[in-house]
Amino acid sequence: MKPALIVHGDAWEIEEESHVERVAGVRAAAEAGWALLTAGGSALDAVERAVALMEDNPVLNAGVGSALNREGEIELDAIIMDGRTLALGAVAAVRGITNPVKLARLIMEDAVHSLLVGEGARRFAELKGMRLCAQAELTVSREVERFRRLQERASYHPTGQLSPDPMDTVGAVALDSAGNVAAATSTGGVHFKMPGRVGDSPLVGSGAYADNLAGAAATTGHGESIMRVVLAKTATDAAERGMSAQEAAEYAIRVLHERTGGFGGIIVVDPHGRVGYAYNTPQMAIAWVGEDGSIHAEIAQQAAGKDV
Ligand code: ASP
């Protein structure tokens, strides 16, 4: 089977000054995932590699460069899911880890539990020999400045309305040559969130879903809206009913918009290896592999996805 891959590095109103670096970031992630897939690697390894690279990229709100919560702390969420077995691993509100997606993978492979949060997740990371880090290693000046600015607005809460403070998440979905699909998502969550707040990203079916019979999807956007419509599963269910990846992505975003009024974006791969994306935010940072194996990366504009 011909492999397929699509990744995203946020859908929102993306700060102009980050466009070039962001496009480079999603391109590098797609290249890394694609190199694995074309060498016969698994979809699971490809999405983990792509998302881990975006976590390492300080421009993106995942891993290094994550948003600070209202107490100035960084709490990270991630999920990875294997479409072959429906196995999944997820972490939520974990501190002091540079690559939450790798921790999610370790949880998945351990196979005892599927979702670990907070201190328990951190202890599991330590048990598995992952390197723990100080918050300073995850913190970038852009987010400290944003935090200070939001702190001055004492009553500020992230509402999910479009604002100059973009919400971010990174994600990847892939199909490998064995016909297996996988999805992964990682985020620092919304800016100035309450401590302990968990969005859609690490929640199975909301932030990501993967099932060989239906395809795989990963989402970004306002978590409190996305989880109400279980957005990723809404898309893969639609693909299972026969929609192409692009149709399923557009359908899911329509459901999000019509049922909750919320904003977000989604990437989808269907079991035939077609990829698609859609968003109702002004922009979405996206990279996918075309029919000829070349990588397309861009900040997509406008309110509807397009055929890819
Ligand atoms: N979905 C993430 C959250 O709500 C943020 C985002 O994707 O923009 O935590």
Q: Using one digit for the tens of pLDDT, what is the confidence trace for 68-98?
A: 999 999 999 999 999 999 999 999 999 999 9
SS (H, E, C) 82-105: ECCCCCEEEEEEECCECCHHHHHH
* Burial label, 238 (beta-carbon count in 10 A; 0-12, 13-18, 19+): buried
Give the mutation target among 10, 51, 190, 194 for probing the ligand 1 site: most ligand atoms within 8 A of CB: 190
85 carries an active-site annotation = no
Helix/strand/coil for 215: strand
Q: Give the C-alpha separation, 10 to 187, whole Å.
A: 10
Tens of each residue's pLDDT in the chain, 308 residues? 999 999 999 888 778 888 999 999 999 999 999 999 999 999 999 999 999 999 999 999 999 999 999 999 999 999 999 999 999 999 999 999 999 999 999 999 998 999 999 999 999 999 999 999 999 999 999 999 999 998 888 677 777 666 656 667 999 999 999 999 999 999 999 999 999 999 999 999 999 999 999 999 999 999 999 999 999 999 999 999 999 999 999 999 999 999 999 999 999 999 999 999 999 999 999 999 998 999 999 999 974 444 43
Q: Ligand 1 mean position to 10 CA, how many Å?
A: 9
CA of 11 to the centre of ligand 1 (A): 9
Q: pTM for the complete prediction?
A: 0.95
- Lining ligand 1 with CB less than 6 A are 167-169, 187, 189-190, 199-201, 220-223
* H/E run at residue 218: strand 215-221
Where is 299: in which H helix or E strand? strand 295-301
